[in-house]
Amino acid sequence: MSSPFAFELFVRAMSLRDDMAEDEVAALKSLPVRFEKMPKGVEIIADHARADHSCIITKGLAARAVYTADGERQLTALHIPGDFVDLHAFLLKIMDHSVVAMSDCDVAFVSHRSLLEIFTRYPHLGRIFWLSTVVDAAIQRAWTTSLGRRTAAQSIGHLVCELHARLSAIGAVVGNSFPLPLTQQELADLLGMSIVHVNRKLKELRADRLVRMEDGQVHIPNVAQLREFSEFDPIYLNFFKEPR
Amino acid sequence: MSSPFAFELFVRAMSLRDDMAEDEVAALKSLPVRFEKMPKGVEIIADHARADHSCIITKGLAARAVYTADGERQLTALHIPGDFVDLHAFLLKIMDHSVVAMSDCDVAFVSHRSLLEIFTRYPHLGRIFWLSTVVDAAIQRAWTTSLGRRTAAQSIGHLVCELHARLSAIGAVVGNSFPLPLTQQELADLLGMSIVHVNRKLKELRADRLVRMEDGQVHIPNVAQLREFSEFDPIYLNFFKEPR
DNA sequence: CGGCAAATTGACACATCTCAAAGCCTGTGG
DNA sequence: CCACAGGCTTTGAGATGTGTCAATTTGCCG
């Protein structure tokens, strides 16, 4: 087959959580997809849109965004390659937020129609996809906790720990460093802080040798120490194999 | 059948989103459940527990709670009767948070085994359940947005609007009033604020005739006005009928 | 009446935001 | 090769929102 396999990283990450049968993976491979390149900043899916396709990221970063009346935005999720970003739309039908490309992205669109078909034929595959939305929700809970009860520095640390763990699962971490091509303004939108505060807290984290963030790269000198500092418990990311 | 129907309110709320066939409802009725009464304050499911049952609330309020190292807690969701509280556990298998009874509750436990069976037989029913977890996730996004980008008073208003809409769907709102037997400390845990601040902002909201909260009852003098003030857009609650 | 939990208030500390300016890169055009 | 513009980062100063601590009041229940 000449066309690249859109679900490669998705399968890789989900296989850490449950075994996927060969015919299930084969079924995914035969799913009709439309590849598209999205330049940074583009709105991949608009808020309130009626969706009949969902998209999976194969390269780059995307985020879910909610805009408030005063023009600010809160990013409620950051998605990495292999994430089936708006699988939620498969059930929701109408978007309650938009999805934005945070870097140049490659995404693959799948129609809800073909998803429905494949889930009917392979119910277990359906549960794997369901699981992926439920893990998204668990991540959202962790963010809520960060915003509600953690200090700014802890929130940043927690986010870094989370990305470290998630990116590890798709092989994108080398020596406790990983790429994160976000500006401080974008981090602020993610973390629900002002850009100035992000800047100051990053400085602190750097001084305390907890996190170094520069040139679009994040480095964690001591993962155990950062996890302790940020009260990060990876259980919510659900990286353990169980039959589902 | 003598035993009460555990899924009555669940069916009622989900029927606003998609039609449920008679045989699907009948299948739910025949699902083996174990009823239990939970007094206020009890931990219904413990964090990190391995779950082989999930529970639906038939009466009372329950919340998902994450405890931080310093003994504080963030409540990440508030569940009302008809909510299948920890259906997430059906997929997650190991809890990443605990579930607490916020009032005396009646809950019904269903084994994951019987859920699996019924979903296999009725795939559409499976999608209805999946949808309910995805709506939970949408609510979580709205909370994240509140914590990140709304003022304290707006957050409270938003929560009140949300509960108003959700409780309406199960017929628990009368004349724009509904019961909410929570202390200000519990509201603070929900909203990620201090109890003192909640108290002051409630006072403000009362003075501005936006929300009156007393004796475990919430009253909204003018729903449209409160929604405007809180930037509440009910789309995320997904109350519209679509085939799923 | 006394006791207890919850609500309320005041005073002050601290975290975070806003506004504004300065510094630092990088790409571009002369 | 230099000058400059534009985006991003960094810093400072002061305003504001929110938290903490402690005391008082209220309402309920035994």
Mean pLDDT of B208-215: 94
Measured CA to CA, the distance from residue A86 to residue A56 in angstroms comes to: 8
Instruction: Give the distance from residue B91's alpha carbon to the nearest chain A alpha carbon, in angstroms.
Output: 6
Compute the Cα dihedral for B30, B35, B40, B46 and give only its sign. negative
Q: Do A144 and B93 touch (CB under 8 A)?
A: no
Q: Are strands A62-67 and A73-79 parallel, antiparallel or unpaired?
A: antiparallel
* Chain B residue numbers touching A195 (CB-CB < 8 A): none
Question: Residue B192: helix, strand or coil by DSSP?
Answer: coil
Compute the Cα dihedral for B187, A138, A144, B43 and give only its sign. positive
The pLDDT, as a whole number, for residue A61 is 97
Q: Which of B120, B147, B244 faces A148 most closely, judged by CB atoms?
A: B147
B145 in reach of chain A (CB within 8 A): yes
Per residue in A218-241, pLDDT tens?
Answer: 999 999 999 999 999 999 999 999
Q: Which residue has the tokens 């390659």?
A: A81
Could you state, in order of their start, the residue ranges of all structural domains in chain A? 8-134, 140-237
Q: Please answer whether residues B19 and B241 qualify as being in contact, where contact means their C-beta atoms are separated by less than 8 angstroms.
A: yes
How far from A83 is each of A17, A30, A125, B18, B137, CA to CA, in Å?
14, 19, 15, 27, 16
Per residue in A122-173, pLDDT tens?
Answer: 999 999 999 999 999 999 999 999 999 999 999 999 999 999 999 999 999 9
pLDDT over 50 at B189, yes or no: yes
pLDDT over 70 at A80, yes or no: yes
Correct CATH for B8-134 of 2.60.120.10, 3.30.420.40, 2.40.30.10, 2.70.98.60: 2.60.120.10
Mean pLDDT of B164-180: 96
Nearest residue, CA→C1' of C17: A194
Instruction: Give the distance from residue B145's alpha carbon to the nearest chain A alpha carbon, in angstroms.
Output: 6
Q: Please answer whether residues B94 and A171 qualify as being in contact, where contact means their C-beta atoms are separated by less than 8 angstroms.
A: no
The pLDDT, as a whole number, for residue A49 is 96
Per residue in B132-146, pLDDT tens?
Answer: 999 999 999 999 999
pLDDT over 60 at B2, yes or no: no
Q: How confident is the model at residue B1 (pLDDT cuts 50, 70, 90)?
A: very low
CB within 8 Å of chain B, chain A residues 210-239: 231, 233, 235-236, 238
pLDDT over 90 at B70, yes or no: no
pLDDT over 50 at B209, yes or no: yes
pLDDT over 90 at A33, yes or no: yes
What residues have CB less than 8 Å from B18, skipping those under 6 apart?
B128, B131, B241, B242, B243, B244
Q: How confident is the model at residue A4 (pLDDT cuts 50, 70, 90)?
A: confident
Torsion of CA B77, B83, B84, B87, to 10 degrees: -30
Q: How confident is the model at residue A2 (pLDDT cuts 50, 70, 90)?
A: very low
Q: Which residue of A has its CA nearest to B244?
A: A91
Measured CA to CA, the distance from residue A226 to residue A154 in angstroms comes to: 9
B67 in reach of chain A (CB within 8 A): no
Percentage of the residues of chain B whose pLDDT score is greater than 70: 99
A138 touches strand D (CB under 7 A): no
B interface mutation test: which of A14, A74, A187 has the most B CBs within 10 A? A74
What residues have CB less than 8 Å from A94, skipping those under 6 apart?
A48, A49, A50, A51, B235, B238, B240, B242
Tokens linked to A78: 């950051």
A203 touches strand D (CB under 7 A): yes
The pLDDT, as a whole number, for residue B71 is 83
Q: How confident is the model at residue B3 (pLDDT cuts 50, 70, 90)?
A: low
Q: How confident is the model at residue B236 (pLDDT cuts 50, 70, 90)?
A: very high
Q: Which of A96, A134, A147 faces B138 most closely, judged by CB atoms?
A: A96
Measured CA to CA, the distance from residue A184 to residue A174 in angstroms comes to: 23
* Chain B residue numbers touching A112 (CB-CB < 8 A): none
How far from B74 is each of B18, B152, B223, CA to CA, in Å?
32, 15, 27
Q: How confident is the model at residue A69 (pLDDT cuts 50, 70, 90)?
A: confident
Q: How confident is the model at residue A1 (pLDDT cuts 50, 70, 90)?
A: very low
Give distance CA B64 / C1' C4 (Å): 28
DSSP sequence for chain A: --S--TTHHHHHHHTTTS---HHHHHHHHTS-EEEEEE-TT-EEE-TTPBPSEEEEEEES-EEEEEE-TTS-EEEEEEE-TT--TTTHHHHH-B-SSEEEESSSEEEEEEEHHHHHHHHHH-HHHHHHHHHHHHHHHHHHHHHHHHHHHS-HHHHHHHHHHHHHHHHHHTT--BTTEEE----HHHHHHHHTS-HHHHHHHHHHHHHTTS-EEETTEEE-S-HHHHHHHHT--GGGG--S----
Please indicate whether the domains covering A8-134 and A140-237 agree at the CATH topology level. yes
Instruction: Give the distance from residue A188's alpha carbon to the nearest chain B alpha carbon, in angstroms.
Output: 10
Of the candidates B140, B194, B238, B135, which has an alpha carbon nearest to the alpha carbon of residue A74?
A: B140
What average pLDDT does the structure give for chain A?
A: 96
Measured CA to CA, the distance from residue B164 to residue B174 in angstroms comes to: 10
Q: Phi-psi region for residue A99, left (φ > 0), alpha (ψ -120 to 50) or beta? A: beta
Q: Do A236 and B96 touch (CB under 8 A)?
A: yes
- A140-237: CATH topology is Jelly Rolls (2.60.120)
Residues whose beta carbon sits under 7 Å from strand C: A 151-153, 192-194, 196-197, 201; B 183-185, 195-196, 199-200, 202-203
B68 in reach of chain A (CB within 8 A): yes
Instruction: Give the distance from residue A151's alpha carbon to the nearest chain B alpha carbon, in angstroms.
Output: 11
Q: Which residue of A has its CA nearest to B97?
A: A236
A123 in reach of chain B (CB within 8 A): yes
Mean pLDDT of A193-200: 97
